[in-house]
């Protein structure tokens, strides 16, 4: 499996311009310093909230379908992390700088996806470095892992790690990472899988740069779980409970009751949701929260008031019309 993943990784060798970053001058040195200090503090604190930044013209242009944000949403839900924002932006340096600085300030755990491959428009590393006043530096350990774990593409039969070439320069750019000399290396370059040379680059304490290739993204975000668990409110990572109640009634028919239910449930940390299922026999009411005992106590009441019943998955009782109003 991972031999195939390593083949995919080769497509991530997009050149990143090794520029001298001037963000401290542009944004103000005190602003950058304050932001970095905040991020370092966040890194050691509890994780309550998260955000996901999808970077890529190909997503906005409809060429590629983003599945990484959906995978990350499920990952967060399973751990009880409150995913508060998902954004998709272009391969534009100013947009990346603005978005990543804002997310780093507003959320505890931020991931970016995409923009770290071999072409001119993949500028994520350099843009995030600029956002926090950092330089791109060749990371020796990542480079050694690359040489050990990756193989030249079949179109490059004469490639040699010891002979200067355009291909070698492109490969090295993949491990030219935003580095803060004041932060321990293990906190900013994270290897999450022994079969992969690709690291998770962590910047400003809480921004984690991941590839856009879904198979890689999924393996690497799953590999982050052992580092994340000790920083959760619930260190066992039990996550959040979601209760599904199927109803044959229209949303408008249950809206009044659900408004009352939400008013008494939200102070207990329980969110009430209503989701239409177009063309299906039943709609879905959800209860989402951590207070299991309180949520379970609500189920009989909700079932009665929406003329429904609890189900394990949506659509479980589609086709069963015996409980519908006639």
Higher pLDDT, 40 or 242: 242
Predicted local distance difference test score (pLDDT) of residue 118: 65
Sheet holding 49-55, edge to edge: 82-89, 49-55, 109-113, 207-210, 200-203, 189-190
Per DSSP, the three-state class of 108 is coil
Looking at residue 239, its pLDDT comes to: 75
**Domain 241-311: top CATH class:** alpha beta
* pLDDT surpasses 70 at 174: yes
Half-sphere exposure of 290 (CA within 13 A, CB side): 14
Q: What is the mean pLDDT of residues 33-54?
A: 66
Q: What does the pLDDT read at residue 111?
A: 98
Q: How confident is the model at residue 140 (pLDDT cuts 50, 70, 90)?
A: very high
The whole-angstrom separation of Cα 91 and Cα 201 is: 18
- Is a pLDDT exceeding 80 seen at residue 15? no
At residue 27 the predicted structure's pLDDT band, cuts being 50, 70 and 90, is very low
Q: Give the closest residue to 8 by CA, choosing from 214, 218, 221.
A: 214
DSSP class per residue in 226-291: HHHGGGBSSTT----EEEEEEESS-HHHHHHHHHHHHHHHGGGT-EEEEE--TTSS-EEEEEEES-
Most confident region among 1-10, 17-26, 169-178, 203-212 by mean pLDDT: 203-212
pLDDT digits (tens, 9 = 90+) for 64-119: 999 999 999 999 999 999 999 999 999 999 999 999 999 999 999 999 999 987 66
Closest CA to 88 of 113, 108, 71, 109: 113
In the chain, % of residues over pLDDT 90 = 68
The full set of domain ranges for the chain reads: 49-152+165-231, 241-311
The average confidence (pLDDT) of the chain is: 85
Mean pLDDT of 235-252: 87
As its CATH architecture, domain 49-152+165-231 has: 3-Layer(aba) Sandwich (3.40)
Nearest to 125 by CA among 206, 14, 10: 14
SS3 83: strand
- pLDDT value at residue 237: 62
Residue of 79, 96, 76 lying closest to 88 (CA atoms): 96
Q: Can you give the pTM of this predicted structure?
A: 0.78
């Amino acid at each position: 499996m991972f031999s195939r993943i390593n083949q995919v990784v080769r497509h991530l060798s997009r050149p990143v311009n090794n520029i001298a970053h001037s963000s401290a001058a542009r944004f103000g040195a005190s602003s950058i310093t304050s932001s970095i200090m905040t991020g370092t503090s966040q890194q050691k604190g509890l994780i309550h909230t998260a955000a996901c930044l999808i970077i890529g013209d190909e997503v906005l242009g409809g060429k590629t379908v983003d599945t990484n944000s959906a995978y990350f949403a499920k990952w967060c839900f399973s751990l009880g992390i409150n995913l508060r924002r998902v954004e998709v932006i272009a391969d534009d340096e100013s947009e990346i700088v603005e978005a990543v600085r804002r997310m780093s300030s507003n959320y505890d755990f931020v991931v970016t996806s995409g923009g770290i491959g071999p072409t001119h428009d993949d500028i994520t590393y350099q843009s995030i470095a600029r956002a926090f006043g950092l330089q791109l530096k060749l990371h020796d350990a990542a480079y050694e892992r690359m040489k050990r774990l990756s193989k030249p593409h079949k179109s490059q039969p004469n490639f040699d790690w010891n002979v200067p070439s355009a291909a070698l320069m492109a490969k090295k750019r993949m491990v030219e990472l935003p580095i803060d000399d004041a932060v321990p290396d293990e906190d900013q370059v994270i290897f999450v899988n022994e079969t992969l040379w690709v690291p998770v680059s962590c910047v400003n304490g809480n921004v984690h740069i991941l590839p856009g290739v879904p198979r890689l993204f999924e393996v690497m975000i799953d590999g982050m779980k052992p580092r994340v668990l000790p920083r959760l409110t619930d260190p066992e990572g039990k996550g959040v409970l979601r209760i599904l109640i199927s109803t044959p009634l229209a949303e408008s028919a249950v809206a009044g009751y659900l408004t009352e239910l939400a008013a008494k449930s939200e102070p207990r940390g329980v969110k009430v949701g209503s989701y239409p299922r177009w063309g299906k026999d039943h709609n879905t009411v959800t209860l989402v929260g951590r207070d299991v005992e309180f949520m379970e106590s609500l189920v009989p009441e909700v079932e009665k008031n929406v003329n429904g019943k609890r189900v394990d998955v949506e659509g479980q009782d589609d086709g069963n019309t015996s409980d519908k109003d006639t």
